[in-house]
Chain A
Amino acid sequence: QVQLHQWGTGLLKPSETLSLTCAVYGGPFNAYHWTWIRQSPGKGLEWIGDINHRGSRSYNPSVRGRITISVDTSENQVSLTLTSVTAADTAVYYCASSRFFFEYWGQGTLVSVSS
């Protein structure tokens, strides 16, 4: 059974950089793409990007230019960096495994951006 555990900074000021990490346990790391999805308060889900074990990335145009997703195959970890955050980036951020659909999810990390 694949389990995902994520962590990172929960409170940021505008213009700062969001940084989250997701560790993958119990599964074939190389068998999946690894995805970041966010959910703004009271709103729906938004795919923001993904990466495979080779480092091939796709990003949502809504965050392209500010986002970097990286992978550490030696630690089975995936990281998300989002620069120049604003209040619009306030959301619960989830990491998830992907094979066209999102089978396994992390517990979610609330990131709040406020001055």
Chain B
Amino acid sequence: QSVLTQPPSVSGAPGQRVTISCTGSTSNIGAGYDVHWYQQLPGTAPKLLIYLNTNRPPGVPDRFSGSKSGTSASLAISGLQAEDEGDYYCQSHDTSVSGEVFGGGTKLTVL
């Protein structure tokens, strides 16, 4: 069981908007630690998608956006494309582990 909780799966049609939630606690997100998001396409290493809650690395389309509030964070993907299919993970720092923790991952299916 992961420290950060994500829905196992989400889906949407091309062009639609989906959101993926990441729920933590007072020992991680709620303690003020930043949230970061990764995209993992089949057979590849994870790729940084959003860092420090809302920031996109160079090359990441502005269709991807992040937010954080209280003990939770969200990743929104608008204008869904077939190439967005894959797994998405949130990550933050946790004081009980004294290290980094991930969500269990969310599988995005583009219908």
To the question of whether A and B form a pair in one complex, the answer is yes
A-to-B contact residues, CB < 8 Å? 35, 44-47, 49-50, 58-61, 94, 98, 100-103, 105-108
CB atoms of B47 and A105 under 8 A apart: yes
A19 to B97, CA, bound (A): 24
Count A-B contacts at CB 8 Å.
57
Tell whether B18 is near chain A: CB-to-CB under 8 Å.
no
A103 in complex: contacting residue of B48, B93, B102, B103, CB < 8 Å? B48
Tell whether B42 is near chain A: CB-to-CB under 8 Å.
no
B97 in complex: contacting residue of A60, A107, A108, CB < 8 Å? A60
CB atoms of A44 and B46 under 8 A apart: no
CB atoms of A94 and B51 under 8 A apart: no
A100 to B33, CA, bound (A): 9
Tell whether B24 is near chain A: CB-to-CB under 8 Å.
no
CB atoms of B47 and A100 under 8 A apart: no
B-to-A contact residues, CB < 8 Å? 2, 34, 36, 38, 45-48, 51-52, 57, 89, 91, 93, 97-105
**A58 and B91 contact, Cβ closer than 8 Å, known pairs A102-B36, A103-B51:** no
CB atoms of B103 and A94 under 8 A apart: no
**A94, A105, A107 — which one has the most chain B CB atoms within 10 A of its CB?**
A105
Residues of the B chain whose Cβ atoms lie less than 8 Å from the Cβ of A60: 97, 99
**A58 and B93 contact, Cβ closer than 8 Å, known pairs A94-B45, A101-B36, A102-B48:** no
